[in-house]
Amino acid sequence: MLCALIMAGGKGTRFWPLSTEEKPKQFLKLISEDTMIQMSVKRLEKLIPIERIFIVTGMRYMDLVKEQLPNLPHKNIIVEPVGKNTAPCIALSAFHINKIYEDATIAVLPSDHLIKDEDNFLEILNSADEFVNENCEAIVTIGMKPDRPETGYGYIKYSHMHCDVNGCEVRRVKNFVEKPDLHKAEEYLKDGNYLWNGGMFIWKADNILRLTRKYLKNTFDILSEIAATSGEDYHRVLEEKYNNVDSISVDFGIMEKAKDIYVIPGDFGWDDVGSWEAIGRYRQKDNYNNVCMGNVKNYDCSNNIIISSGKPIVISGLQNIFVVESDDMIFVGKKDGIESIGELKNRIS
């Protein structure tokens, strides 16, 4: 039984001031007329019914999830009282999903990534599900074939071919690699045995819980106690106990120690939309290469990024600038300096 778990608790700090702690990146319309989380759910619904799509998020974002995904069943929203990184978050969700669907396979996916070739992505996801059903202690990740020496992503090094599932190569993972410098990234690209790590994992719910018990026993014991409660007691015990789990990522807590890890290479037009430059790449432009979002008018302008959150913005005769309007201020600068906008936060606060 394939279920999807969409991770939607991040704060999206790289897109400040548009993305804030109150309304982070996954709830914004950055590259289409749907928000990032709406895009993620619509993509998955072609393969997985909404009843088997789960969202894990922070308490402060629960209303945003309900507002943007009105068809999502209430029981499919899993809430963390406090952010404790991805390992306890995933294990908490696995306990929850296992109560609803026995023998569940869980595809853990980000809430804020772009995938252009959705059909190809879903074919890979379906093949990963089939492989995990036949190899219950396996972990499958999806790696993207790199087309440039990217320093902003982690990498997956793979080894020999393990098998073929419906035309998808399943390869053994040799190791995971942190974000490299440019020289290393160029070596990885030349080597040909490295893939970008998009943070997507497919595994049996029972298996991830088994691995949590093996490698993060304190976290497992606390979450077991939480999962054993029900009704009104559940939320009380969750609030009382969850802060005591280990704050650790699934990569460090489990993936670096587990043995049966495989990767399916993918080439489906993936981007983690982790920079302002990504908006320039994917947002529709006018005939003069302007990206305009919201209530914007421009006259005799070219090669600009103009974003309004409500107030009308009118620009005239300008080139190569950005204007970003947030709820309480307006930022203006040279377009080639837009990636440093976040550095202003501490200087003006």
The pLDDT tens digits for 116-170 are 999 999 999 999 999 999 999 999 999 999 989 988 889 999 987 778 888 899 9
The pLDDT tens digits for 299-308 are 999 999 999 8
pLDDT of residue 315: 94
If we measure between CA atoms, which residue out of 75, 81, 73 comes closest to residue 41? 73
Q: Same domain for 218 and 316?
A: no
The pLDDT tens digits for 66-122 are 999 999 999 999 999 999 999 999 999 999 999 999 899 999 999 989 999 999 999
pLDDT tops 90 at residue 223:
yes
pLDDT tops 80 at residue 327:
no
Weakest-pLDDT range from 21-25, 206-210, 317-321: 21-25
Q: Same domain for 25 and 71?
A: yes
Q: Same domain for 224 and 333?
A: no
Indicate the residue among 230, 260, 276 that finishes a domain.
276
pLDDT of residue 349: 61
- pLDDT category at 275 given cuts 50, 70, 90 is confident
Residue pair 42/53 in contact (Cβ under 8 Å)? The answer is: no
Residue with tokens 């005591």: 244
CATH number of domain containing 54: 3.90.550.10
Q: Whole-model pTM above 0.85? A: yes
CA distance 222 to 242: 7
Q: Same domain for 216 and 309?
A: no
Q: Which two tokens stand for residue 43?
A: 């993509």
Indicate the residue among 246, 276, 306 that finishes a domain.
276
Distances (CA, A) of 149 to 188, 191, 195, 281: 8, 11, 11, 18
CA distance 10 to 343: 19
- CA–chain centroid gap for 71, Å, is 21
pLDDT of residue 303: 94
CA distance 115 to 224: 35
Distances (CA, A) of 278 to 31, 209, 271, 285, 338: 8, 36, 8, 13, 11
Q: Which two tokens stand for residue 3?
A: 């279920």
pLDDT of residue 12: 66
Collapsing DSSP to helix, strand or coil, 322 comes out as strand
Contacts of 327 (CB under 8 A, 6+ apart): 309, 310
- Tally the domains of the chain: 2
pLDDT of residue 336: 87
CA distance 146 to 184: 13
pLDDT of residue 219: 97
Q: Same domain for 259 and 298?
A: no
Question: Residue 165 is part of which domain span?
Answer: 2-276
Q: Same domain for 201 and 269?
A: yes
CA distance 338 to 335: 5
Q: Which two tokens stand for residue 8?
A: 């939607």
Indicate the residue among 260, 276, 292 that finishes a domain.
276
CA distance 136 to 339: 43
CA distance 287 to 310: 24
CA distance 147 to 78: 36
Residue with tokens 């406090």: 82
pLDDT tops 90 at residue 287:
yes
Q: How many CB atoms lie within 10 A of CB 257?
A: 11
Q: Same domain for 232 and 299?
A: no
Q: Which amino acid is at 9?
A: G
Q: Same domain for 252 and 307?
A: no
Per-residue pLDDT averaged across 16-45, rounded? 89
- pLDDT category at 187 given cuts 50, 70, 90 is very high
pLDDT tops 70 at residue 318:
yes
Half-sphere exposure of residue 246: CA atoms within 13 angstroms, side-chain side:
18
Q: Same domain for 43 and 124?
A: yes
CA distance 302 to 289: 6
Q: How many CB atoms lie within 10 A of CB 237?
A: 17
pLDDT of residue 17: 76
Q: Same domain for 311 and 263?
A: no
Q: Same domain for 341 and 272?
A: no
Q: Same domain for 201 and 333?
A: no
